[in-house]
Structure 1
Amino acid sequence: MAEAWLFELIMGIGKLFLNPVFYLVFIAAAFYGVQRVKRERQHFSVRAENAYFELKQIFPLSLTIGLFLSIITVTAGLAVPLELIVFTAGATILFILTPKVRWLAPAYTLSIGVLLTFIANRQEWPMPDFFTSDTFGIESIFPAAALLISLLVIAEGILISRNGKKGTSPRLMNSRRGQQVGMHEVKRIWLLPLFLLIPGEALSLTSDWWPVFSIGSNTYSLIVAPFAIGYQQQIQSSLPQKAIEAYGNKVIVFGAILLLLSSAAYIYPIATLAIAVLAILGREFLNYRQRVTETNSSFYFAKRNEGLMIIGIVPNSPADKMELKIGEVVLKVNGSIVNDENGFYQALQKNAAHCKLEVLDINNELRFVQRALYTTDHHELGILFIKDEVKKGNRAV
């Protein structure tokens, strides 16, 4: 029995690499990284994280979450029709080609897959045998789909709150009043592989070697489906880490609400459609509220009468090693008061071998940091400030 399950797992993983979503996620992450580096160099003449940063964020947290959810779906015997995976993949491919990364949230892609699966079943759409499965009746399948939506929404919230706040990208713009201000942006995509049960022997129609096993009186195939989870957010009113974590927690709560409501689908299977629509509308409402709140709030990263606010830190730079943080304000450099970027670097050059900073932290407490400087160190310490001038085209929207 153990050998049979091992064979099932290996063959199920093999199907993962036949899904185009798997490869498109890596291509998209690489593209986002190149875009970000290009913008940061345009705004600051230096990039923060390297272009591979987004690629490195695809895993491993999503793998851990995917494994945990796979244990739930398989042990609970949650079976979904193959059509659902096909339609969800189709929606994902369509959205991944658009600039709206947030549309890759499972509340959109998976819910659209559920709605299309229902329509295809009712209207008896002609589909290739390889893309269809024996659903044992739509009523027995849809409750599992409702549960899957809620679980993936919760997974999205965890990824946002735990990983989305890492390596946010600073950017500059002119406010509507013509003042130079800054904000942070995160544009992230994750790949969550999930083991799922497919009812019937659909996958063995064209491949006799495909593993099929029975649970009770029903027959299932095991497959690993790659779910892309996209996330994009701009933060101007607060520190990015706090804002992103708070937003992720809201998504988790929303997923928990969907999870409670999904129990109704086991009594009334048609309620799955309502849950899918609610997932789309609720997720869009969270996005709308976040955008409105940010638009109506003042800029956190703006010029101050005293000191220079740090909007970004280059990793592994002297500033990073001095444990300077985004949102802190540099008041003095080597004993000299600084109010602009030119004054900062003039004060820094007073002592080429040593740097001492007086910093106001995010809790408005004064602290001192210092470090010896070496010829191999970043010539600007690796601190990103709001520039005195912002290039045309970087207007607030």
Structure 2
Amino acid sequence: MEILQEILLGLCRLFLHPLTYIAILVTYFIGLVRVKRERKHFRIRVFDFIYELRFLFWPGLAIGLLLSIITIAVGVVVPIGMIVLIGVLIFILSGPWTFRWLTPSYIIGLAVIVSLFLPREAGSDTFTRWMSEAGETNLSSLAILLALLVIAEGYLIWKYGSRATSPEIFKSKRGLPVGSHISQRLWLVPLFLLIPSEGFSAPFSWWPLLNINGQEFYFFFVPFSIGFFQRMKAMHPKQSVEFTGKRVLGLGIVTAVLAIPASFFPVFTVFIALVAIVGREWISISQRLEDARLPFFFTQRKNGSIVLGVLPKSPAEAMGIKVGEVIVRVNGEDIAGEQDFYQALQKNRALCKLEVLDLNNEIRIVQRALYDGEHHELGILFVEDHETSVG
């Protein structure tokens, strides 16, 4: 009952923790920047400015609960000094210029490396005592925590990172308009960690105290922030992001395997931290290099118009039009660009019949009755020069 009570209270404390409000502010800032970019390129926002908040707490809450059960079951113990160090790193890496490093590989990996250089002598003041606790942290516990959070990061990117990516337009080296997509997410994964009761005074009388093998531990609640940023020019957004997610998931599995010998040789955790940092950076760099090497995906076509974006709750979304598909015929007429698309729409103001080349290179036909004004507002974004309008 004490554990269940602490879980319920911990969920309430989620909204009292300063890192939670920092994450909310960062997510709000991400939404404002995205809306500004979309209005600049398309004169309309694709998603509202609080759209990213829908991904902030879910499914991170469920994943955090599962990871908490695992960490408690295997006996992961992290002193309050290390938790403070991790919190400081989360705060530093939450900035707009460091957001892409807001991953468990950097947060926990850097915490492991920094702890090696902290003094071990406990002083009388709180700050010195925290540094000493961080320096004396059981490294094998950090190895397990690192592996679990990297696996969680990979799963979140794989399953949720490609949802509602944001389109943009830029100029190629030849001066032609080219489309790309940006995925920028922030997830909160709240964890319950065990901390030694020695040197920690519970702020409330009801704070649960566990006795494990003669040692006393408190629960401590930490909302871990996991950030993700990726720009896609040469691949379909869903394919590109899912590929990255699988790579990160693979890195998490590797760190989990390496965490086994770290249980017997804690110093091996330093090597695991370096593997996680280098591996995560390699994943990011290789994605950018592959994206630069391959031809652009969202470019103007000789036959048809590629769909760069679809506005939510628009006629195009109701018709099942998807990003990356190519509209080849409108109301029975071949089109070779956006201008042809508009002209063909004007010829039948009551019905919109589209022949679409889908992502499997198969033609399908979609149609829908149009109402007054809808032929101007189907909700499709195309790649075009300078001022981009909505199809």
Q: TM-score, normalised by structure 1?
A: 0.91
Gap regions ≥5 residues in structure 2: none
Match of 1:106 in 2: 104
Match of 1:395 in 2: none
Structure 2 counterparts to residues 1-397 of structure 1, below 5 A: 2=1, 4-13=2-11, 15-122=13-120, 128=126, 132=130, 138=136, 141-204=138-201, 210-375=207-372, 377=374, 379-389=376-386
The alpha-carbon deviation at position 390 of structure 1 amounts to 6.3
Q: In 2, are the aligned partners of 1:333 and 1:348 still within 8 Å (CA)? A: yes
Distance between the aligned counterparts of 2:213 and 2:373, measured in 1? 67
Measured at CA, do residues 235 and 7 of structure 1 come closer, stay the same or move farther in structure 2, by a change above 3 Å? same
Amino acid at match of 2:102: L
The alpha-carbon deviation at position 361 of structure 1 amounts to 1.3
State the SS of the aligned residue for 1:8.
helix
Distance between the aligned counterparts of 1:360 and 1:38, measured in 2? 31
Q: In 2, are the aligned partners of 1:104 and 1:230 still within 8 Å (CA)? A: yes
Distance between the aligned counterparts of 2:223 and 2:183, measured in 1? 22
Q: In 1, are the aligned partners of 2:309 and 2:380 still within 8 Å (CA)? A: yes
Amino acid at match of 1:367: R
Distance between the aligned counterparts of 1:218 and 1:130, measured in 2? 24
Q: In 1, are the aligned partners of 2:120 and 2:133 still within 8 Å (CA)? A: no
Q: In 2, are the aligned partners of 1:111 and 1:149 still within 8 Å (CA)? A: yes
Amino acid at match of 1:273: V
The alpha-carbon deviation at position 136 of structure 1 amounts to 12
Amino acid at match of 1:28: V
State the SS of the aligned residue for 1:78.
coil
Amino acid at match of 1:254: L
Q: In 1, are the aligned partners of 2:3 and 2:208 still within 8 Å (CA)? A: no
Q: In 2, are the aligned partners of 1:80 and 1:142 still within 8 Å (CA)? A: no
**Percent identity between the aligned chains?**
40
The alpha-carbon deviation at position 251 of structure 1 amounts to 0.3
Count of residue correspondences: 388
Measured at CA, do residues 115 and 18 of structure 1 come closer, stay the same or move farther in structure 2, by a change above 3 Å? farther
Distance between the aligned counterparts of 1:289 and 1:126, measured in 2? 48
Measured at CA, do residues 328 and 205 of structure 1 come closer, stay the same or move farther in structure 2, by a change above 3 Å? closer
State the SS of the aligned residue for 2:173.
coil
Which digits, 9 at most, give the CA deviation of each residue in 1:6-32, with x for residues without a partner? Answer: 343345445544432111111111111
Q: In 2, are the aligned partners of 1:11 and 1:210 still within 8 Å (CA)? A: no
State the SS of the aligned residue for 2:118.
helix
Measured at CA, do residues 20 and 228 of structure 1 come closer, stay the same or move farther in structure 2, by a change above 3 Å? same
Q: Which deviates further from its counterpart, 232-241 or 335-344?
A: 335-344
Q: Which deviates further from its counterpart, 12-21 or 220-229?
A: 12-21
Measured at CA, do residues 136 and 286 of structure 1 come closer, stay the same or move farther in structure 2, by a change above 3 Å? closer
Q: In 2, are the aligned partners of 1:317 and 1:377 still within 8 Å (CA)? A: no
Q: Which deviates further from its counterpart, 345-354 or 196-205?
A: 196-205
Amino acid at match of 1:320: E
Distance between the aligned counterparts of 1:332 and 1:130, measured in 2? 71
The alpha-carbon deviation at position 336 of structure 1 amounts to 2.2
State the SS of the aligned residue for 1:181.
strand
The alpha-carbon deviation at position 123 of structure 1 amounts to 6.5
Distance between the aligned counterparts of 2:151 and 2:202, measured in 1? 35
Distance between the aligned counterparts of 1:193 and 1:131, measured in 2? 25
State the SS of the aligned residue for 2:376.
coil
The alpha-carbon deviation at position 248 of structure 1 amounts to 0.2
The alpha-carbon deviation at position 163 of structure 1 amounts to 0.5
Measured at CA, do residues 196 and 130 of structure 1 come closer, stay the same or move farther in structure 2, by a change above 3 Å? farther
The alpha-carbon deviation at position 302 of structure 1 amounts to 0.7
Which digits, 9 at most, give the CA deviation of each residue in 1:225-246, with x for residues without a partner? Answer: 1000000001111111011111
Amino acid at match of 1:337: D
Measured at CA, do residues 337 and 378 of structure 1 come closer, stay the same or move farther in structure 2, by a change above 3 Å? closer
What do you get for the CA RMSD once the two structures are aligned?
2.4
The alpha-carbon deviation at position 202 of structure 1 amounts to 3.5
Q: In 2, are the aligned partners of 1:318 and 1:378 still within 8 Å (CA)? A: no
Distance between the aligned counterparts of 1:345 and 1:376, measured in 2? 13
Q: In 1, are the aligned partners of 2:82 and 2:130 still within 8 Å (CA)? A: no
The alpha-carbon deviation at position 264 of structure 1 amounts to 1.5
